[in-house]
Amino acid sequence: MKIGDPVRIVSVPEKLPIHETGTPRADLDVKTIFGRCLGHTFPIVGFANGLIELEVGELFGQRACMHSIWIEPDHIVRSESPV
């Protein structure tokens, strides 16, 4: 896989981080973000430490770059359909 490739999220990681202060933020609840992304297709925008970055802001009525997630490769599949 490379940057720009469309991928579909097929599962949500069981262990998800919470906000760095130790408490979840209502506007950026990680479980909600990942849950809404399930089944959707996004282009890959980056790679780091074995994770893949996807910009998902459009699911929340914002520009794609306003919310991004980092996800393990085993939770996505390459999609043949364009994003």
- Specify the pLDDT at position 28: 55
Contact 72, 13 (CB under 8 A): yes
CA distance 17 to 7: 22
CA distance 62 to 65: 8
pLDDT of 15 strictly over 80: no
CA distance 58 to 64: 5
CA–CA–CA angle 36, 75, 38 (5° rounding)? 15
Quick count: other Cβ atoms within 10 Å of Cβ 29? Answer: 14
Mean per-residue pLDDT, 38-45: 96
% of the chain at pLDDT higher than 90: 59
Residue 77 pLDDT level (bands cut at 50, 70, 90) = very high
Average pLDDT, the chain: 85
Mean per-residue pLDDT, 43-70: 93
